[in-house]
A and B are shown apart, each in its own frame.
Chain A
Amino acid sequence: MTTDNSSRDLFPGALEMMILESLRRQPAHGFALVHHIQQRSNQLLQVEEGSLYPALQRLLKEKLVKAEWTISPSTNRRVRVYEITRAGRSHLEREISRFDRMLEGVALVLGPGRLTAD
């Protein structure tokens, strides 16, 4: 089975973090999420539907997001809109601070070497 690769290309939890962050700014349905992440990352990150939907289901199961069928005002079609829950917000904050610390650590390890190499 090789289908998990896209999410593993980043690190575990990265996709969920981005989804939660996007939803924190604005509730959205799957299609909109793909576009949102793509635009926010300056087209650097391509989110595949194959990863997005399982990730959404995981978040739903852990009650970090909730979903509701509505009619989209812009396209006038039935869409399932995801909204971040309170648990989702605190989870996101924890994850972001953990991510920051990790980034800090990585930078410290890589930093000096990169300076001399430059």
Chain B
Amino acid sequence: MSWFRQIFRRRGIYDDLAEELDEHLEEKTEQIMRAERVTRSEALVAARKAFGNQTVIEQRSREVWQWPSLESIWADTRFALRQVRKAPGFALTIVLLLGMGIGSVTAVFSLVDAVLLRPVPYPSPSSLVIPWNIPPAGIDIGGYAEIPWNPIQFRALEQETKTYRSIGAFQGGNFNLTGSGDPAMLEGAHVSWGFFPALGVEPEQGRFFTREEDSIGHEREVILSDALWRDRFHADSSILNRAIDLNGAPYTVVGIMPAGFAFPRANEMPGDFTFPAETELWVPLALPAVTPMFTPSELAVVGRLKPGLSLAEAQAAMDVFARRMDREMPAAKGWSGSRVTALQKQVAGDSLKPLVLMLSAVALVLLIVCFNVAGLLLTRSFTRQREFTVRAALGAGRLRVLRQLLTESLLLALARGVAGGVVALAGVRIVKVFGPKTLPRLIEAGVDLRVFAFAFAITLLTGILFGLMPALGAARTNLVESLKESGQKSAAGATHPRLRSAFVVAQVALALVLVIASGLLVRTFYHLLAADAGFRPEHVLTFEISLPSTKYPDRGTIARFYQQALPLLRSIPGVESAGITEAIPMGGATESTGIRIVGRAARKGDRPPIVNYTVISPGLFASLGTPILRGREVLDSDVLSAPPVTVINRALARQYWPNEDPIGKQILVPSQRIPATIVGIVADIKHSSLREVPGPEMFEPYTQNVWPSLALIQVVVRTRSEPAAVIEDTRKVIRQIDSGIPLAKVSTLLTLTSTAMAGERFSMLLVSSFGILAVLLAAVGLYGVISYSVAQRTREIGIRVALGAQRGDVFRMIIGYGLGLSGPGILIGIVAALGMGRILTSFLYGVSASDPLTFFSVSALLAVIAVGASLFPAHRAASINPVEALRME
């Protein structure tokens, strides 16, 4: 007989079997009646006793015909589905709760994977390093721990062929693209010829720069990013070997990079230096053959180590290199030290901290969810105790019950896995869209198979853990005892509620920790917003312009451009004031310089003080809304022929003239011959984030500046109404002076501030939403335990009411029970939150990790929620009818 026919015949076989056994029992009964001369009912009892459990016989006889495991699994699954249909709310709650928990863990893990764990997307990533120059020990150069290299050092590094198989330098740059559509400012990088080979990438089309092209006079080649090629050149391959106009000069396109390649990216590099957000094009670095004196250190370096060389060995080789450089360049003794950082670590940067915060928050949520679900399953297993008992009495073996329960919980686990996957996908999407742009490699994040395997492992684990726990309890059930119990109060009833209460206490405690954390972060956020940043961000338009050196070769032509532009900008209707600066607030770090204070003898061995140094124009402070505290700002009359002037910030004034009036004092910047006289003091302006403590800063008028760095400048325009209204007029004004100059990075100061706050906002929103979820879960858990307890105590409450207890007493009793449950949870939570404070401290601003206001209000909030969760059960308890309650037995 084929297995196929066997399946269809089977029902007949089972029917035969059942009938046969019935007949057998009947015959046996009659035999006993005849042999022992007893009544039929007595004989039937005796026959059953001798016969054994008919269900078991039937089941085992049936098993002969089955594929044992597979078929009983199918039967179990069908039964489990029937259970789910019987209590859909229960199944749905568990699937959604755990799905949420598992999904958020997976989403956060996906981010951690993308940002920290996954190797950087270059061949043999482990041998890629970024060696940074480090300043000599004990010398503060404006707080930088790692600095770029200067060209002399890079030339020497290129000779370190025992350490590096290939090495390349790179430096961010801006390029005005003209001649193909509207002029646009592109973010690019100047790279040495060894840059691409070091990274080990290949161009998608075309080629890389040759060594010859990386030299002055031959450097007019460009490699495009895939994004730029698609956006500006319509993905047209014929652009290869054609020239495009960059900064007014023709550059031949020699290559196009594969999609996704945009190294260096700002969020993968130290925040102190300027790199493109996404590099759009690369041109040869073309260092001059002879490096002039006072060449700034601006080169970042990427190297590929020789095969088999470890990071420590590379570091040791670089220490030898530093000693050699000290011998060769005694003037710069001590300035060639280095720290070799793995590219992987460099790219992850500081993102570890916010990710740890996210992971901790999400882990707490998952714990709460697990406690919550464990509580639900416990209660359910208790209410199903009678079912298990009856099934055991009818002949179900213990293993059979266990197996069936396990199937049921695995089925739910599977559903949770699916729900979790959906939540994870959505979560990763949300973070990618709304997450802070400072988080590196966000673009690579996605729920991949490994991450999904992680989620599924959690799913199975929770399924088996919380599925088997009640199952084991059920399997231990004493049949006789359980059947004797009415189901209202069972021996197990004493331990289960205690366990459930413990679960609820844990949930309340964990929720409190999360809500306190989010409370502290919310307060931090508002403290940051309220903190004095040194400028008023409302109604301020900002943009960047870059003057190409082909047309603006010296400071005279550059200054003339601004002299023409500023009055025109101010004359636009709706504009209140306009100014320019090298460094827009919230736009990143400024330049810095060593200074000498005139009339103050430098003690021997003292290093010159280092201060931030920013070139500005008249009208800048008014445009930013920065208060002038004393003296005056820079004026149009402060020209080259007039005595040099400077405006300093309050931090500088306090640091060097704590008890004197700095106005009239003089500061010498080493690159200038004549000291500048201090003419005014302004409020401290925060540059990189609202968190920072502003350092000393000096401002000089662009009309007196001799540094050639003014070709790239930030324009600040304060308007009377919406800044967007004047953008068109502004563009017209600039085009009027030079039609080849695009307005780049057009934004508002408000947007810049908000972008700078993105990371903070993200942490706050994330932890807060987890906090809200936690409170909801804890409330559900509390409600479950209290209403279950009310159901259990119906009889007791009935007796109380019958004996004269007032409704109000009953109501208060249940509310008290709820508070009694949440009280210990709140206390434990407070202790845990105090312990957690240390982790959180670095995220806080203007609020202590043990902020009493937050702790008190959050505890009060949870107490209120506990009362809220008990209200409905308490009302139900108070309306118990004693007659009905007592009749229930």
Check A54 against B57 for contact (C-beta < 8 Å).
yes
Chain B residues with CB below 8 A from A30, complex form: 20, 24
The CA-CA distance from A58 to B21 in the complex, in Å, is 16
Asked, given contacts A1-B399, A30-B24, A54-B57, whether A67 binds B64 with beta carbons under 8 Å apart, the answer is: no
Asked, given contacts A50-B60, A53-B21, A54-B64, whether A1 binds B51 with beta carbons under 8 Å apart, the answer is: no
The CA-CA distance from A32 to B378 in the complex, in Å, is 50
Check A61 against B52 for contact (C-beta < 8 Å).
no
B636 within 8 A of A: no
B26 within 8 A of A: yes
Check A77 against B17 for contact (C-beta < 8 Å).
no
Contact with B along A42-58 (1 / 0, CB 8 A): 00000011100110111
The CA-CA distance from A94 to B553 in the complex, in Å, is 109
Check A50 against B52 for contact (C-beta < 8 Å).
yes
Asked, given contacts A48-B52, A53-B57, whether A77 binds B23 with beta carbons under 8 Å apart, the answer is: yes
Asked, given contacts A50-B57, A57-B65, A58-B64, whether A75 binds B27 with beta carbons under 8 Å apart, the answer is: yes
What's the minimum C-beta distance from B268 to chain A, rounded to whole angstroms? 61
Chain A residues with CB below 8 A from B52, complex form: 48-50
The CA-CA distance from A10 to B616 in the complex, in Å, is 104
What's the minimum C-beta distance from A6 to chain B, rounded to whole angstroms? 10
The CA-CA distance from A56 to B64 in the complex, in Å, is 10
The CA-CA distance from A58 to B65 in the complex, in Å, is 8
Asked, given contacts A49-B52, A57-B17, A80-B16, whether A3 binds B24 with beta carbons under 8 Å apart, the answer is: no
B481 within 8 A of A: no
The CA-CA distance from A67 to B24 in the complex, in Å, is 15
Closest-by-CB residue of B relative to A69 is B16
The CA-CA distance from A67 to B23 in the complex, in Å, is 15
A96 within 8 A of B: no
B738 within 8 A of A: no
What's the minimum C-beta distance from B233 to chain A, rounded to whole angstroms? 75
Check B23 against A61 for contact (C-beta < 8 Å).
no
Check A3 against B56 for contact (C-beta < 8 Å).
yes
Check A78 against B60 for contact (C-beta < 8 Å).
no
B391 within 8 A of A: no
Check B64 against A61 for contact (C-beta < 8 Å).
yes
The CA-CA distance from A58 to B13 in the complex, in Å, is 12
A: number of interface residues (CB 8 Å): 21
Check A54 against B397 for contact (C-beta < 8 Å).
no
What's the minimum C-beta distance from B806 to chain A, rounded to whole angstroms? 56
Closest-by-CB residue of A relative to B395 is A3
The CA-CA distance from A80 to B58 in the complex, in Å, is 15
B432 within 8 A of A: no
Contact with B along A74-101 (1 / 0, CB 8 A): 0101111000000000000000000000
Closest-by-CB residue of A relative to B20 is A80
B140 within 8 A of A: no
The CA-CA distance from A29 to B13 in the complex, in Å, is 16
Chain B residues with CB below 8 A from A67, complex form: 16
Asked, given contacts A54-B57, A77-B27, whether A49 binds B64 with beta carbons under 8 Å apart, the answer is: no
Contact with A along B12-41 (1 / 0, CB 8 A): 010011011101101110100000000000
Check A3 against B60 for contact (C-beta < 8 Å).
yes
Check A54 against B63 for contact (C-beta < 8 Å).
yes
Chain B residues with CB below 8 A from A29, complex form: 20, 23-24
Check A50 against B56 for contact (C-beta < 8 Å).
yes
Interface residues of B in 803-818 (CB under 8 A from A): none
Asked, given contacts A1-B399, A54-B64, whether A49 binds B17 with beta carbons under 8 Å apart, the answer is: no
Closest-by-CB residue of A relative to B52 is A50
The CA-CA distance from A79 to B16 in the complex, in Å, is 10
What's the minimum C-beta distance from A107 to chain B, rounded to whole angstroms? 34
The CA-CA distance from A49 to B25 in the complex, in Å, is 10
The CA-CA distance from A78 to B16 in the complex, in Å, is 12
What's the minimum C-beta distance from A73 to chain B, rounded to whole angstroms? 14
Asked, given contacts A1-B397, A67-B16, whether A54 binds B51 with beta carbons under 8 Å apart, the answer is: no
Closest-by-CB residue of A relative to B6 is A61
Check B26 against A57 for contact (C-beta < 8 Å).
no
The CA-CA distance from A67 to B21 in the complex, in Å, is 14
Check B23 against A54 for contact (C-beta < 8 Å).
no
Check B28 against A31 for contact (C-beta < 8 Å).
yes
What's the minimum C-beta distance from A24 to chain B, rounded to whole angstroms? 21
B488 within 8 A of A: no
B161 within 8 A of A: no
Check B57 against A49 for contact (C-beta < 8 Å).
yes
Check B60 against A79 for contact (C-beta < 8 Å).
no
Chain A residues with CB below 8 A from B53, complex form: 50
The CA-CA distance from A50 to B56 in the complex, in Å, is 8
Closest-by-CB residue of A relative to B56 is A3
Interface residues of A in 1-23 (CB under 8 A from B): 1, 3
The CA-CA distance from A49 to B56 in the complex, in Å, is 11
Asked, given contacts A49-B51, A77-B26, whether A54 binds B60 with beta carbons under 8 Å apart, the answer is: yes
What's the minimum C-beta distance from A54 to chain B, rounded to whole angstroms? 5
B93 within 8 A of A: no
The CA-CA distance from A30 to B54 in the complex, in Å, is 14
Chain A residues with CB below 8 A from B16, complex form: 67, 69, 80
Closest-by-CB residue of A relative to B54 is A49
Chain A residues with CB below 8 A from B51, complex form: 49
Interface residues of B in 46-77 (CB under 8 A from A): 51-53, 56-58, 60-65
The CA-CA distance from A24 to B183 in the complex, in Å, is 104
The CA-CA distance from A56 to B57 in the complex, in Å, is 12
From A50, A57, A77, B64 is in contact (CB under 8 Å) with A57
Chain B residues with CB below 8 A from A69, complex form: 16
The CA-CA distance from A2 to B433 in the complex, in Å, is 61
Chain A residues with CB below 8 A from B63, complex form: 54
What's the minimum C-beta distance from B18 to chain A, rounded to whole angstroms? 11
Asked, given contacts A53-B57, A78-B23, whether A61 binds B399 with beta carbons under 8 Å apart, the answer is: no
Interface residues of B in 63-107 (CB under 8 A from A): 63-65
Closest 3 CB pairs of A and B: A57-B64, A53-B61, A57-B61
13 A-B residue pairs with CB within 8 Å: A29-B24, A48-B52, A50-B52, A50-B56, A53-B21, A53-B57, A54-B61, A54-B64, A57-B17, A77-B23, A80-B16, A80-B20, A80-B23
Further contacts, 20 of them, CB under 8 A, given A1-B399, A54-B57, A54-B60: A3-B56, A29-B20, A30-B20, A30-B24, A31-B23, A48-B52, A49-B21, A50-B57, A53-B20, A53-B60, A54-B61, A57-B17, A57-B61, A61-B65, A77-B27, A78-B23, A79-B23, A80-B16, A80-B19, A80-B20
* Chain A residues near B (Cβ < 8 Å): 1, 3, 29-31, 48-50, 53-54, 56-58, 61, 67, 69, 75, 77-80
